[in-house]
Structure 1
């Protein structure tokens, strides 16, 4: 990052502080309680892909960089600055005086250790983001300067480095504690870990020696409240200060409540119906296209999300860095769906299993899909799994259909998004349609090592067109993120990643 950009970033930060100072006073809170619909699956960001885990770990751990919500530019966190030496070599100049929660100083050794671990085969991200880091290419210049190499040029590399998978851990603490470290994680973030009663609560506490702006509250409690109605009641009765995943059916009521307030943010998560492309009869593209035509997406949104959502044109969210051209539309057409099934040899219908996690919108959505597919002769048996079990089971690729989600909260680059969802190297980790196509693989490989934006756009379009031919999934919806908070809570308008961002900046109107 050059001096001019660094200066403008600092100026913007000062102006933002002044803007808040002129907009009325706010007061800090001693404690803050958040209600979530599910527990964190892991406090190890290298083994997590779920929102609930990231909602916790992003308060404990930090990556080298993040994104500025207003400018959308990559900005420093654990670095002072950086420079791209060549298209596959980055030099990071680390921030001095940063401490881990155990008192150890943050150095280049911790960076190399953490990113090596992130790229290792044991990491859930190894087949996607981690594959681009050259594990043998690190070079420590001194305690505060480190070189990170990639396996060839990587378009959007810095964007990927703000992902939780790039979190930096204390090398010494991990080596001393082993895997127990992630039951009691130690980071550089604004909050330190206190306790975790699985399935019930996680307790965090503000870190007094945090290197950045201190949190506005000392004690941070995350309560696990799986029942949606119970979450809303907990908010209205003051048991919690904020809830995530407000049911769409309760959102309008909260907007008019004198006990709580409702907040909406643009969604960055694609809800999709995934089809196992390697399992009969779904290995036939005609069957997959028939299912596409059988789904009335407007009705799906109306029933499941009460229209608090937007409809995607395909396997991307509107906020992606790439916007496709000449998008083909697949309107609701059950007669065409029946004809395609007959053409594929299934005029008498088929029976499929539909796997879902136990989130309310998945359960409601599965019922809608079951009804729609039934109209064209496809019988679906719905299997509901606890969310953690679901994430484990789908990696086996034994399912026929799934309703699931993938988000762009931490990286809006289409190449990284498709790498996770459709690259054959991600089968067994995050590619839950088991798509294995050489054109898609080669396109993703090429776009993710291309730096030039114009060239990337051409490559993105080619991948999009090929995915359109293959139909590995039906893009169902991009739901808005719906929150509920206590009256007077401010700071949520700064959210920019579509889901739970850092919450330590929240405060109450005085």
Structure 2
């Protein structure tokens, strides 16, 4: 098994090559014709389908891993985390709340429309002003986008904004074709999306696959592949089988128990790398039994995080009491790598809370959304049963789970794993209140202050104070930092990215 350090911000998922229409692998286990004059088709097996093509209305890495090949940001991050030009060539601050961006000229959307400042204004003001959009909370800091000329914009924030470049280089900030959407409507766009990226939309067979094809009008380097196929295969065993028989070129979320088998196969190898993703429980703090802090603490103390890591993840993972992992701005190291397992104390807390004879909670989990999510939910339910908490466990397929979570109908508690695409503590706390109803005034005051604080040292301390409070109040019970496991065809040059995003043109054949 190859392993990469936490500073390796290179490439995530990817794919090999194949002849168009050729479904049978050759003797080497790779699709025929790869790199030999035939059409180069890259196929990746994912654990779930995309949410859709509204770049502002999702918060999922898996969906963004498709979007990044179709759309562009103003700013992008290099493999080592540095900001680089994308649709913006340069930027500067003209006053504490105004950033000026010079845009790239000659860029075309896939439908032929030119990219201009009007598209920047339309895209960013849409996500910054429409509260119904999932990414609104991460962009509401933008007060206005002023057009200086066709290729110059001023982005004006409500207050000082220390992480604007981070916001503009992550999901939720892709540029949309304003003319097309204004003329045809957003529904027409969602059925036939167009961006400025190296690959354009071909088809989406819901719960099966998304297919993109290269475009000859891309402003950057020529696309390396003729076609990208993102297959949705929720079943772990099926993903592994498809990889090992040459049906796909890369498979994500390889079960730890299958990593050795993949690595020993003649044509495939297993890879693993760190992520910013933390698996956690989100608990309702305004209603039901989990509104009692003693019940939330009892749930935390009843869970043996080390046992979860050992039994379900083959030891790959790290227990944590915070969602902000090392390497993320605002991390508090003394809360990472620690857990509190004390079932006897958990029983005592339940007794003090008036549940000496036990209680029942409703728990929602998912299958195929995150590695071992179903098994983790079942393991936790069994542990809670040991201290007298009966669990009504509902396991949902990924899209159904997302619907219930966004609607706030997931019962008393749900399991989720969040990554940090901004590499800043501010991002994860955007889900705190929506997921749990938590509204501690002290926490809200600290987060509000940190959001606009340009003093990095003060801002870091504010985030660390928040983590100390949350570790005691437990609106979220953080479980473990996840490791990303992949299986790939050996003919690929591939390195996992810590942000788990798939940039197809960072993938090459050996």
Same fold (TM over 0.5): yes
**Alpha-carbon distance, 1:132 to partner:** 0.7
Q: Quick check: 2:91–2:99 contact (8 Å CA) kept in 1? A: yes
2:24 paired residue number: none
After superposition, the Cα gap between the structure-2 partners of 1:204 and 1:327, relative to the gap in structure 1 and judged at 3 Å, is closer
The two structures have a TM-score, normalised by structure 1, of: 0.89
Matched, 1:361 2:372: yes
1:154-303 mapped onto 2 (5 Å cutoff):
154-178=161-185, 179-303=187-311
Q: Tell me the distance in 2 between the aligned counterparts of 1:286 and 1:177.
A: 54
Following superposition, the deviation at residue 501 of structure 1 comes to 2.5
Could you list the per-position Cα deviations for residues 83-114 of structure 1 after superposition, in whole angstroms to 9, with x for gaps in the alignment?
01122110000011111111111100000001
Determine the C-alpha separation between the residues in 2 that align with 1:466 and 1:122.
28
Q: What is the deviation of 1:498?
A: 3.2
In the other structure, the counterpart of 1:85 is 94
| TM-score using structure 2 length | 0.89
**In 1, Cα distance between the equivalents of 2:358 and 2:303?**
16
How far apart in 1 are the matches of 2:96 and 2:455?
11
1-structure distance, mates of 2:52, 2:235: 21
Correspondence for 1:53: 63
- Partner deviation per Cα, 1:303-338 (whole Å, 9 max, x = no partner): 222222222231222331122165495421100111
1:390-442 deviations in Å (ceiling 9; x for gaps): 1121233341111111111x211002221x222x4xx2xxxx12212221212
Looking at structure 1, the residues matched to 407 and 44 of structure 2 have their Cα atoms a distance apart, in angstroms, of: 33
SS at the partner of 1:100?
Answer: coil
1:22-78 per-position Cα deviation (integer Å, ceiling 9, x unaligned):
xxxx969711111111111111111111232112111111110111112x2211100
The runs of 5 or more residues in structure 1 that have no matched partner are 1-25
In the alignment, the residues of structure 2 paired with residue 125 and residue 265 of structure 1 have an alpha-carbon distance, to the nearest angstrom, of 28
Aligned-partner SS, 2:195:
coil
1:407 aligns with 2:416: no
CA distance in 2 between counterparts of 1:241 and 1:395 reads: 33
Corresponding position of 1:17? none
Moved >4 Å (runs of 4+): 26-29
Give 1:500 shift.
Answer: 2.9
Cα-Cα RMSD? 1.8
How many positions carry a matched residue from both structures? Answer: 470
Give runs of aligned pairs for residues 380-419 of structure 1, distance below 5 A. 380-398=391-409, 399-408=411-420, 410-418=421-429
Give the deviation of 1:81 after TM superposition: 0.4
Residues 1:99 and 2:100 are matched in the alignment: no
User: Equivalents in 1 of 2:447, 2:131: separation in Å?
Assistant: 23
Task: Note if contact 2:43-2:249 (Cα within 8 Å) is conserved in structure 1.
Answer: yes
Q: Which runs of 5+ in 2 are unaligned?
A: 1-33
Deviation at 1:386, TM superposition (A): 2.0
1:364-393 CA-to-partner distances (Å, cap 9, x unmatched) read 001110111111100111101221121121
Distance 1:51 1:73 in 2: 20
Query: Alpha-carbon deviation of 1:481?
Result: 0.7
SS in structure 2 of the partner of residue 186 of structure 1: coil
Structure 1 Cα separation of the partners of residues 317 and 135 of structure 2: 32
Residue of structure 2 equivalent to 1:499: 500
